[in-house]
Structure 1
Amino acid sequence: MSTSDTQNPKPPTLVTAGVIFNEGKVLIAQRKKGDRLAGKWEFPGGKVEPKEKPKDCLIRELKEELGIEVEVIDIFHAFTYQYPWGKMQFIAYLARLTPASREPEAIECEDYRWVPIKDLPEYDFVPADWEIVGELLKLIAIH
């Protein structure tokens, strides 16, 4: 690493993820073939574009990936994860389908599922999203 890299480190990439519940299950999506981490499961969302608000990014990404419309409720969990290709700053939002939303469909993902929280550990998630799975499992341990 050069001196300039340590003096001006690249800021983390800002990424959103949706924690969307419906009838007691949470929505997860499978990354499509050809993507980095293809075949792994994730909470749907994506990279925040320059000058885009994170909530707007999540709404846009969910429409593009799954064809759904959501209302963003609040931040569920925020954390940083270091991948080999760079540091990512994640904001996971609680969200719900709007009354006008259609059912999800796999548009820009391989597949999607509605899964009970207790069953999430059975899925092969992208490494960063295990942080969200852990937070969700803590919720059901409390109740």
Structure 2
Amino acid sequence: MSTSTYTNTAYATNYGVKASNGTMGILVSGTKVLIIHRRLKNQHTQENGPPDTWSFPGGGLEPDETPEQCIIREMKEELAVDVTIEPIGDEPVWGMTDDNINGKLWRCTIFVVKQVDDNQQVKINEPTKHAGFRWIEWADLYPMIKADVEEDGKADMEEDGKADGAGQRMFFFEPMKNMVLKYPLRCDPSSLYKRTV
């Protein structure tokens, strides 16, 4: 595993504004990926909020922690699984987004990760932060996130993961929306294994 050249020190954006660093991990099983249902968290609600947005697992870097170390730690803390980072070609990172989350700027590093031991059962390890999880086909998820971006939160999903307007409305975490905007051509599942664009 490669290590990054930066740690959790705020970086300067083009506008001279400081931001924090975070990660998201795309946990892959075949052509399916895992998404978690985050609970609402804001300045008034810190834990046990109602179900809110869907996201990949991840979180903010600890002091002196690399993004690679962070995503491995976060996957264990949130889902009780050990993971390895799967390189995309010769690059360890799937992508990066710059996000405004609750008025705070974040740079999110996105990794593709795989379970070290398939016998480990994925579970919600932090129920005060997450309401549940789902495995969903990458080819179905990407258009749903795009629909949430384009239609201001009108992405729908049935229990089987199909987007057809008949099921539960899904809203996605800001870094996932920005991921689709920044990397619109990575909707093919092959982008989880090799650099396509």
Q: Please indicate, yes or no, whether the TM-score normalized by the shorter chain is above 0.5.
A: yes
Greater helix share, structure number: 1
**Aligned Cα root-mean-square deviation (Å):** 2.7
Residue 83 (structure 1) aligned with residue 89 (structure 2): no
How far residue 20 of structure 1 moved from its aligned partner, in angstroms, is 1.5
Rounded to whole Å, the distance in 2 between the matches of 1:46 and 1:103 is 21
Judging changes above 3 Å, is the alpha-carbon distance between structure 1 residues 111 and 133 closer, same or farther for their aligned structure 2 residues?
farther
Compare 109-118 and 88-97 and name the one that shifted more: 109-118
Amino acid at match of 1:58: I
Q: What letter matches 2:18 in structure 1?
A: P
**Which structure has the higher relative contact order (CA within 8 Å, separation 6+)?**
1
1:138 aligns with 2:186: yes
1:70–1:142 CA distance, 2 compared to 1 (3 A): closer
Q: 1:101: Cα distance to partner?
A: 5.7
Task: Write the distance in 2 (CA, Å) between the matches of 1:52 and 1:142.
Answer: 30
The one of 121, 128, 136 equivalent to 1:115 is 136
1:99 and 1:141, CA in 2 relative to 1: closer, same or farther beyond 3 A?
closer
Describe the shift of the 1:142–1:103 C-alpha distance in structure 2 as closer, same or farther (beyond 3 A): closer
Contact kept, 8 Å, 2:23 with 2:58, in 1: the verdict is yes
**Alignment length, in residue pairs?**
135
**Contact 1:117/1:136 (<8 A) preserved:** no
Task: Give the match's secondary structure for 1:30.
Answer: strand
CA distance in 2, matches of 1:25, 1:111: 16
Q: Give the C-alpha shift of residue 105 in structure 1.
A: 0.4
- 2:74 is aligned to 61
Aligned equivalent of 1:124: 171
Pair 1:142–1:60, CA change in 2 (3 A): closer
Q: Distance in 2 between matches of 1:53 and 1:86?
A: 20
C-alpha distance in 1 between matches for 2:25 and 2:171: 17
Task: Say whether residues 1:22 and 2:33 are aligned partners.
Answer: no
| CA–CA distance in structure 1, aligned partners of residues 190 and 78 of structure 2 | 32
- Alpha-carbon distance between aligned partners in 2 of 1:101 and 1:57, rounded to the nearest angstrom: 23
